[in-house]
Structure 1
Amino acid sequence: MTKQFHDSVLSPDTLDQLFNEARSYNGWLDKDVSDEQIAAIYDLLKMAPTSANMQPVRIVWVKSADAKARLAKLVMEGNTEKVLSAPVTAIIGYDIDFHEELPWLFPHTDAKSWFEGDEEGRKEGAFRNSSLQGAYLMLAARAVGLDVGPMSGFDNEAVDAEFFGDNSRHKSNFICSIGYGDTESIFDRSPRPDFGTFNTIV
């Protein structure tokens, strides 16, 4: 059992790329992120688990100068330049009516019926699982050689109206800039607690 565990562990370099040496960036190098790279990120994150494979995440990839300017007006002042300078910023949202897709996403049983008539339950599930998918997005971006800068300082209702306006059932969760991070834009890593600080094995 121990040998099998060790055989499956990622290399130290890969773990550094995904976790140990990875940082959240505030500034970006002037290097483009291609549509192919964006698609590669999605193709990885969609493979990660969600409850009943509900796949509630809905992402708008803000890449054009016009779209960046529109988004930059809706974030807090400290995030404005982060959005404008990043090659792309993903608006990670979720679909309150994700259950409508369950007949083909989770065909093993009538999962759609689990969520019908329970909008508050759907909102909770969609928010939780889109948060998970947003985290997978960040790992996927790092896995394909990019850096990330997640943010929550923005006007959710205004972003929803501007970027999800054609579907009022889609709501924004958080945003995340993606590109090639400028090391001059970050400070020393903040402390991380040891296992025993916040963990209990029972």
Structure 2
Amino acid sequence: MTKQFHGHTLSHEALEQLFLEARSYNGWLEKDVSEDQIRKVYDLLKMAPTSANQQSARFVWCRSDEAKDKLASHAMDANKDKIKTAPWCVIIGYDIDFHEHLPELFPHTDAKSWFEGDVEGRITQAKRNSALQGAYLMLAARALGLDCGPMSGLDLDKVTEDFFADQPQYRADWVCSIGYGDKESIFDRSPRPDFDKFNRID
């Protein structure tokens, strides 16, 4: 029997860990993060929804010094150490040919045919859904007690060239360092707007 969790509110402590007290870290404690932990992050994020279960994100988990140095070489100066000193830094990319996998991922109907011959439409879909998966990645990491340092200050064309050279249908979009954040590396939280500032109820 499938368990039902509708109406269950997480504890305030859980909300603090995921949102209220969570921060984007710029520096990292010298504390290891195992491959098993990273695999658990993925096993959580993959369960969250994407349109027609596209699963269009493609991840490269940079763990070795060589991989992190190569990635950092394409980052703006302010981001280089954020990448190199983190236990892991993941490249969040997307697959513009994600539709090739839909017969397996969305077998209820011929979803692949929806996207054939429409490269620009697939790019729009792939970017949107991979960005969602990147956000799910951060929530999954935080849920498992890890901290995140998302960033976009890189030459993404060069990141794509270096890390996806043998997969020309993939594109790098942004990166996120993962580890145990050093609280000394963050500043006071920037203001967040009230509901009425950027919302409207019609």
TM, length-normalised to structure 2: 0.96
Q: How many corresponding residue pairs?
A: 199
What are the superposed Cα offsets for residues 19-65 of structure 1, whole Å, 9 maximum, x if unpaired? 00000000000111110011000000000000000000000000101
Unpaired runs of 5+ in structure 1?
Answer: none
| Distance change (3 Å), C-alpha of 1:22 and 1:140 | same
Distance 1:158 1:82 in 2: 18
In the superposition, the TM-score normalised over structure 1's length comes to 0.96
The equivalent residue for 1:171 is 171
For residues 55 and 6 of structure 2, the distance between their equivalents in structure 1, rounded to whole angstroms, comes to 31
Q: Secondary structure of the equivalent of 1:8?
A: coil
Listed as ranges, the gaps of 5+ residues in structure 2 are none
- Residues 100-119 of structure 1: pairs in structure 2 closer than 5 A: 100-119=100-119
| Cα deviation, residue 6, structure 1 | 9.5
Runs of 4+ in 1 over 4 A off after TM superposition: none
Question: 1:160 & 1:117 partners in 2: Cα distance?
Answer: 23
For 1:128-151, what per-residue CA distance to the aligned partner results, in whole angstroms no more than 9, with x for missing partners?
Answer: 000000000000000000000000
For residue 197 of structure 1, report the CA deviation from its aligned partner. 1.1
Root mean square deviation of aligned Cα: 1.4
Q: CA offsets per residue over residues 170-193 of structure 1, 9 Å max, x none?
A: 001110000000000000000001
d(CA) in 2 for partners of 1:6 and 1:82?
38
- The match for 2:33 is 33
Percent identity among equivalent residues?
A: 65
- How far apart are residue 9 of structure 1 and its match? 0.6
SS in 1 for 2:200: coil
Q: Output the CA distance in 2 between the equivalents of 1:56 and 1:9.
A: 30
